[in-house]
Amino acid sequence: MQQATVFAMMFASGLLAALLAASFYWAVLEARQRRKAEGSVLLAGSQLSTIRIWAALLERFSQVERLRRLIGQAGVSWTVGRTTLIMLFGAASVGLFLTEARLLPPWIRWLLTLLAGSIPLLYLRAARGRRFRLFAEQFPEALDSLSRALKAGYPLAHAIEMLAMEQPEPLASEMRRTRDEWKLGIPWDQALDNLAYRIPLTEVALFSAAVKMQNRFGGRLNDVLGRLGETMREHAALEGEVRSISAHSRLTGAVLSALPVVIALLLFWVNPDQMALLLQHPAGRAMLAGAALAIVTAHFVIRRMVQIRL
């Protein structure tokens, strides 16, 4: 009986050790695969394109660096080569369709072709704007956490590492990149300048200047960061109040821009034969093109008028 108990205990211990070894092996394997995937993502973001001929061609253009910076600020995993190919494919497809249809004047076809080709750029700019707004919303809370960590006695590197682990995206990834640059031997001043270059916000520039000044002349950095976070909250509250005041004007502009389009669609639905003359006659097509251009121009003029910069 005792031998059976000892055998069962030895078998259970061996099985538990095997399970622990297997789980440790799988954990190590998963960590290696994760590091390999992160390295491949960084490599894909650094190179222009996986197609060597296309990458060599893109290197000849000076605007490639601006496009690379826009992609990095938007926080997407695109490459410059993929973005440019999507732009060319979209412009070629729309241009070929409009040329075969022959429903619009040539200059309108060219305008729509250029617009189709610029859709990826518009998407990247919108994604960059959303990312910057989210970063600006998260930054005051991050500064408060950083101020509390410095007040508790943590060094700046450890405090930024805590932000990289605890804060949500996109702030966590930017702080993680700043920490990694410092670990690779880049001084704090250069790493913070790189952060301000990637996130060109006034708040980030002030944070970088405050940290660099403290590194050079000393002082209570936690108090400076606390006041900076409070100032950012007041500025955000003022911006929200301005947006709420100008919301009526923006809504009026959107209604005035959409109203002609809605009326045209209703007229096409009520009397399609009469409205079809606008598409069949060259003068009618020119009138529709002029009306569309006037509506788009008026929309941007109204947006410019109601835009208030603080």
Parse the chain into domains and list their residue ranges: 58-117, 131-236, 246-306
CB proximity list for 182: less than 8 A, separation 6 or greater = 157, 160, 188, 191
CB proximity list for 146: less than 8 A, separation 6 or greater = 159, 160, 163, 222, 225
**Cα–Cα distance measured from residue 100 to residue 16, given in angstroms and rounded to the nearest whole number:** 71
CATH number given to 131-236? 1.20.81.30
Which DSSP category does 164 fall into? H
State how far the alpha carbon of 91 is from the alpha carbons of 57, 121, 202, in Å: 19, 12, 36
**Cα–Cα distance measured from residue 73 to residue 89, given in angstroms and rounded to the nearest whole number:** 24
CB proximity list for 256: less than 8 A, separation 6 or greater = 298, 302
**Cα–Cα distance measured from residue 63 to residue 9, given in angstroms and rounded to the nearest whole number:** 70
Residuewise pLDDT in 10s, the chain (310 residues): 444 444 444 444 454 444 444 444 444 454 454 444 344 334 344 566 667 777 777 788 778 888 888 888 888 888 888 888 888 888 888 888 888 877 677 777 888 888 888 999 999 999 999 999 899 888 888 888 888 888 888 888 888 888 888 888 888 889 888 888 888 888 888 888 899 888 988 888 888 888 888 877 777 788 888 888 888 888 878 877 877 777 777 788 888 888 888 888 888 888 888 777 777 777 887 888 888 888 888 888 887 877 766 5
Q: SS3 of 95, please?
A: helix
